[in-house]
Amino acid sequence: MTVSAASALQLGPRQRHGRAINAVAEFLRYGFPKLRVPNIYLEPRIPLLSGADILAVDRAGSGDFHVVEIKELANIKSSVQFDRYLESLKKWPAHFQIHSHSAQL
């Protein structure tokens, strides 16, 4: 089976989302100066954080925790919908909230 270069570059929504999760997790692990010895969890299964893509716990599990949810702008169609989304994020029990919106990766 031969895969052309053009078809290999076309990623589905799930693949784009996965690549965004990996990029943000790598940034939190190595490039975010506020985190010291972070524990990074991808798609954590915690009821209070349903919808979270990444959970980063600072200081090897004894510090603040940071929650990341990645959304594509195409999924948010109006400013009212965006405001509702932000309000739902404020209910998460996290110390810091990182809002990442990607049109395409």
In this prediction, residue 96 carries a pLDDT of 56
Q: How far apart are CA 102 and CA 105, in angstroms?
A: 7
Average pLDDT over residues 51-75: 80
**End-to-end Cα spacing for the chain:** 27
Q: Which fold has domain 11-102?
A: Trna Endonuclease; Chain: A, domain 1 (3.40.1350)
More confident residue, 41 or 82: 41
Residue 19: CB partners within 8 Å, gap ≥ 6?
A: 11, 105
pLDDT at 42: 92
Quote the pTM value: 0.63
Highest mean pLDDT out of 14-18, 30-34, 96-100: 14-18
Indicate the pLDDT class of residue 36, thresholds 50, 70 and 90.
confident
